[in-house]
Structure 1
Amino acid sequence: MTDSNAHSTNAENTDATEPTAEVIGAGAGNTTEKDPEDWVTGEEPMTGAQRSYLDTLAREAGETLPADLTKAQASEHIDRLQAATGRGQES
């Protein structure tokens, strides 16, 4: 089997229903985005990255947030604080 045949065989075995980067990052109007309240992992503790970004946003907004937020709560605060601080907006 040549390399080109191996490559085409791999392409044929790709699951067409698997999300791609284009689908996941479709941007505004992306219908794949879920409300944080509907997240399967939404009740888990926020991630370290969320905590770090929230600390930055809260400091800029002059707010203090609790340290025990869930992933869903952290996401909602991030959205709110981005709007309040102007961060995360497209140029």
Structure 2
Amino acid sequence: MSDSDTTNGAGDDVLGARGEDDTNPASKDPSEWVTGDEPMTASQRSYLDTLAREAGEELPADLTKAQASEHIDRLQQKTGRGQS
């Protein structure tokens, strides 16, 4: 891991930064993702399963990456997991 991966100095790339970042593809609206219509990832599926159970909801198992991301955002708010 390089220093830029672990420091918070100006100009360094870090994960978990706050706010919008137009240079980071992950900051885009899920509807604009190039791979948004691909099936959700195994990680998304696992996390959605946890969130949906906590929220008392059922979701279809054939969601796209973009749909899964939108449900994750919504369910994090509903369950309080999205709070910092």
Does TM, normalized by the shorter one, top 0.5?
Answer: yes
Q: Are 2:52 and 1:61 aligned? A: no
Identity %: 71
The residue correspondences of 1:1-91 to structure 2 (distance < 5 A) are 21-22=13-14, 25-31=16-22, 32=24, 33-90=27-84
* Aligned-pair CA distance for 1:27: 1.7
Q: How many residues align?
A: 70
Q: Which runs of 5+ in 1 are unaligned?
A: 1-19
Residues 5-62 of structure 1 deviation map (CA, whole Å, 9 limit, x = unaligned): xxxxxxxxxxxxxxx633x643224334100000000000000000000000000000
More helix by share: 1
Using the size of structure 1 for normalisation, the TM-score is 0.70
Q: Which runs of 5+ in 2 are unaligned?
A: 1-11
Structure number with bigger Rg: 1
CA-based RMSD of the aligned residues comes to 1.6
